[in-house]
């Protein structure tokens, strides 16, 4: 069965600390991977996506993610977080033109000023 | 462009009542999906559609119906509301498959009492 798993449910960091959020997926065939962010009271916004090519993907606001096929992972990273990064982060996986996008459970990030 | 528009934003239903959550997009996107968001469970796919006249079940379809008579609209029907359907519902759309990522609406917060 297709699934996405996020290891960290709640992460608390101080400003300027480095961030890494784990994501593992189980998906047959060619997979497209995404990270979305949901700021308090807002809807989901796309941070970055991977569907082919360079496994290191850069997104908005200084975020990046690395696709490691052998580990079925797509971890999100940011070298130095800011208070404004406080949000919930979702990893998602889908396949080509099926239209079916599956999300992980989400990770709540709290950045202390 | 309005993007993905969901109505209503808030709704309270009594157990057993039926209602339709509306979703419309003006981007001529072929792919549309409905998700529900519950604390600690991330977003779970209810139903999705890859074009007018084509729908399929997601992870949690029971208790919900959808139809896609036009490209623009993808309503979600609750047949007989139950307290377990209390949730925040998000509609999303995408063009050319999910490779480009879904664009999300602002959500409908539904409470079933």
Report how many Cβ contacts below 8 Å link chain A to chain B. Answer: 75
Q: How far apart are CA A86 and CA B85, in angstroms?
A: 28
Q: Give per-10-residue mean pLDDT for chain B (113 aa).
A: 90 97 95 94 94 94 97 96 97 82 93 97
pLDDT of residue A98: 79
Q: Which two tokens stand for residue B68?
A: 């896609």
DSSP chain B: ---EEEE-SEEEE-TT--EEEEEEESS--SEEEEEEEETTTEEEEEEEEEETTEEEE-S--TTEEE--SSSSB--EEESS--GGG-EEEEEEEESSSGGG-PEE---EEEEE-
Determine whether the interchain pair B50/A97 forms a contact, defined as Cβ–Cβ distance below 8 Å.
yes
Residue with tokens 């009542």: B17
Give every residue of chain A whose pLDDT is below 50, as ranges.
none
Is the minimum CB–CB distance between B97 and chain A shorter than 8 Å?
yes
């Amino acid at each position: 069965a297709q699934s996405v798993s996020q290891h960290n449910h709640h992460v608390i960091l101080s400003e300027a600390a480095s961030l890494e959020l784990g994501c593992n997926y189980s998906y047959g065939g060619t997979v497209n991977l995404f990270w979305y962010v949901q700021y308090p009271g807002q809807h989901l916004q796309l941070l970055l996506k991977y569907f082919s090519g360079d496994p290191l993907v850069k997104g908005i606001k200084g975020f990046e993610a690395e696709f490691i096929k052998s580990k079925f992972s797509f971890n999100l990273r940011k070298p130095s977080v800011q208070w404004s990064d406080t949000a919930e982060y979702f990893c998602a996986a889908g396949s080509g033109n099926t239209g079916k996008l599956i999300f992980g459970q989400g990770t709540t990030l709290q950045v202390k000023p | 462009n309005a993007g993905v528009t969901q109505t209503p934003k808030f709704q309270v239903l009594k157990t057993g009542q039926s209602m339709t959550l509306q979703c419309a997009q003006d981007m001529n996107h072929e792919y549309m999906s409905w998700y529900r968001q519950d604390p600690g469970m991330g977003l779970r796919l209810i139903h999705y559609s890859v074009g007018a006249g084509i729908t399929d079940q997601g992870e949690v379809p029971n208790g919900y119906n959808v139809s896609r008579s036009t490209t623009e609209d993808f309503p979600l029907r609750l047949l007989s509301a139950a307290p377990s359907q209390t949730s925040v519902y998000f509609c999303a759309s995408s063009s050319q498959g999910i490779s480009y990522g879904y664009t999300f609406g602002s959500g409908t917060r539904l409470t079933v009492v």
